[in-house]
Structure 1
């Protein structure tokens, strides 16, 4: 079938060719998702899968970490696509068959999987699958809202309680608050702010959300939503919703927030005026003399966790900020300790800027400092240290990922199945001086490394499996929807 699609596309020209190749792309996407689901099947079939489902990095997370870099996507996106792949194969064979022909796109199948998540009865699910598979090819020209309406129609027909009714530039700055208009009692907030202000808000919400105890029933996203109102109202923390009179989080306050901006000294001292307020900027025009156009005199800054910030804004906004110089360690000898000094750790974070695992952009300030060659066999020095987010640190420690680090900070990765990847420090383009080679890593071959089996004994464990958490979430949402279904099934008042 796939080969026939390719042969047919070769004989088409014009706009029709674009459509033909789009269909091939859809069919290829269907096969890519099917291959991802097969990887998960093999993981579950391997020895010890039941035990691994109790790990923080369970079978599902391990597969997502494995397939993410093969597709050049983030761990979160790979995990989301894996969920859709499994749902298509196990819950929607009819829709999956249509997808395999290329007649529908990833947009349609993603919407179908999302809007039908609450359908659990086997007969109802089979009915929804058959109905949608028979009609979905006619929905490819619909807007996303109209597509959701079509899907919801069939969900409501077979399982009313399963309809997803309540899913839970610098001078262009603004904040807009508007009512949802759908009667759910929520409002939408949309804002455009400076990158560094956005980082501060993000961290502040996390800090507020962390002031509750572990029995608080809200998700992290829900706590952040509630934290916004608490912070604006002047509260010192987010009230815990555990309902206990002896809550250990009572009286906790949110911690202070620090926003890290990396910039060269020239940028911080730049006196070029910047118009940061006033009307929105007008469209740029071509310069009268193109020969006068050249690179900026000073480089931009970088907000940890966000993105590049133009030099004038960095200089204007951080003129009164506390400055902390980054010192390149050069050929300095290893430190005689496992935990790096504050100066060395700060250099590593500024050199790397993000997690060094392939396709991960977790800010370095939120990462662990990892010894590439485990201490004490490997020394505590810049050539043997890098930033890894907690998830990818666990991947390396427990899931068989191997890495090799070069003196300039480049890291070569080898996956458990033999795939090879290379990542470079985030400062390589913005602050290349931080990537000058440091002294080669010192290794003590007399120190033995822990066996993988021994390492796995220390893997953090879940309180509940992923499947148990998912089932509970579906049950709770269905219960919230049940009054709608009951009202719908009432006899008419005449």
Structure 2
């Protein structure tokens, strides 16, 4: 089937070729999700899989890590794909068959899986799956809202308590912050708030934006944006940007929030002094200072900060911490790295070093690639791993080899290999200059209390992931049933006489 789709697309032209290759793309996506479901099934069939269900890093997370590494995406993205793959494999096999032909898109099957997830009865689910498989290919031109309505109509026919009610959306309220990889130094915020909180925030932003003097050069929308940033820093007002000494609104309020920015020394000062210890980069706790040059900085875990923003948005009273390259320094005689070594490793790596992970280095553990005390506490044996990937590496069978320049070669449980490089490789390559090779001590006491395997314990779940999902479905169905019962009672009332 897939080969036939490719052959048809090869022979198509113009808009026909666009549609034909879109169908190939859909069919390839279906096969990708099926491969992800295979990984999960293989893990669940392994010896010891039942015990892992109580682990914080359970079978699901282990499978998601393999899916994430294979595509270079985050654990969250991979977990969402795995949830859809599992639904298509276990709950919606007829819909999966249609998806495999390329007739429907990822967006469509994701909507079907989400909006039918509350259906519990096996017979009802089979009927729903069959009906949707018949209808879906004709719904390709529907808008998102109309697609949801069509799916909900089918769900309501077989299980009214499984329809996902609009008023239940408050449980999904959230605030997400996205950092576009365009070097603009800005971020996008998307969220859902309770209406009263949203109204209060809207009013407060307007009030703060209006409190500056008439000479402030920013637009009203820019002031509202900056006001939200001021709130994030704990300020109760927005500092005016007019630059006038006599402006009562010009003085900025002190911030108790700490952010970390890496910048070259010449980006922070008017003059260009000699490089400290032969190296340029600096780590900034809170906010960097001084006029900027053309060199961008890096906001830890978020991305580039252009030079103009470095100068205009960040305060002049920042604490500066030089990053000292360890060179050929000997290992430190302890498990926990010194502050100086730890800051070097964090600024060299910038993020978690597992394939596809972008967790900021400041939110990561420092992991010994070769466990201490056999492996030393030195730069060539240390890397940043977020807690999830630290646990995954320690307990779930991933192996790695670390090179002196910070490059890491990962090998998965099934033998796939991936290479990750320090984040500073492209921005501050000086930090990737090789350090002294790790000195392995094969005579070390591996039963020592300092052994990393003893210091990092696998947290256990109070509920398995399956139990938590079932409880969430129970709660939502219970809420929906109240709505259904009330609706039926109103509909069945006798007419007044």
Matched residue, 2:462: 463
Matched residue, 2:282: none
- 1:372-451 aligned at under 5 Å gives the runs 372-447=369-444
Counterpart Cα distance in 1 of 2:69 and 2:192: 39
Matched residue, 1:237: none
Counterpart Cα distance in 1 of 2:192 and 2:376: 55
- 1:6-405 aligned at under 5 Å gives the runs 6-165=6-165, 166-167=168-169, 168=172, 187=198, 257-269=257-269, 298-316=294-312, 317-405=314-402
- 1:481-492 aligned at under 5 Å gives the runs 481-490=480-489, 491-492=491-492
- Asked if structure 2 preserves the Cα contact closer than 8 Å seen for 1:65 and 1:75, the reply is yes
Give me the TM-score of the superposition, normalised by structure 1: 0.77
Counterpart Cα distance in 1 of 2:38 and 2:65: 15
Counterpart Cα distance in 1 of 2:145 and 2:116: 15
When the two structures are aligned, how many residues end up with a matched partner?
418
RMSD: 3.4
More deviation, 326-335/165-174: 165-174
Q: CA deviation at 1:319?
A: 2.2
Q: CA deviation at 1:98?
A: 0.6
Counterpart Cα distance in 1 of 2:387 and 2:156: 41
Counterpart Cα distance in 1 of 2:392 and 2:227: 32
Q: CA deviation at 1:33?
A: 0.8
- Asked if structure 2 preserves the Cα contact closer than 8 Å seen for 1:338 and 1:375, the reply is yes
Q: CA deviation at 1:197?
A: 9.7
- Asked if structure 2 preserves the Cα contact closer than 8 Å seen for 1:200 and 1:257, the reply is no
More deviation, 359-368/132-141: 132-141
Q: CA deviation at 1:3?
A: 1.4
- Asked if structure 2 preserves the Cα contact closer than 8 Å seen for 1:270 and 1:311, the reply is no
Counterpart Cα distance in 2 of 1:161 and 1:186: 30
- Asked if structure 2 preserves the Cα contact closer than 8 Å seen for 1:66 and 1:415, the reply is yes
Counterpart Cα distance in 2 of 1:384 and 1:57: 24
Q: CA deviation digits over 1:344-383, x for unaligned, max 9?
A: 1011111111000000000000000001111101111111
Distance 1:74 1:142, change over 3 A: same
* 3-state DSSP of counterpart to 2:142: coil
- Asked if structure 1 preserves the Cα contact closer than 8 Å seen for 2:373 and 2:446, the reply is no
Give me the TM-score of the superposition, normalised by structure 2: 0.77
Counterpart Cα distance in 1 of 2:196 and 2:380: 54
Q: CA deviation digits over 1:77-111, x for unaligned, max 9?
A: 11110110010111111111110110001110111
Matched residue, 1:212: none
Counterpart Cα distance in 1 of 2:434 and 2:298: 22
* 3-state DSSP of counterpart to 1:354: coil
Q: CA deviation digits over 1:86-144, x for unaligned, max 9?
A: 10111111111110110001110111111112111212212221221111111111221
Q: CA deviation at 1:270?
A: 5.5
Q: CA deviation at 1:150?
A: 1.2
Distance 1:318 1:351, change over 3 A: farther
More deviation, 315-324/128-137: 315-324
Q: CA deviation at 1:72?
A: 2.1
- Asked if structure 1 preserves the Cα contact closer than 8 Å seen for 2:352 and 2:360, the reply is yes
* 3-state DSSP of counterpart to 1:441: coil
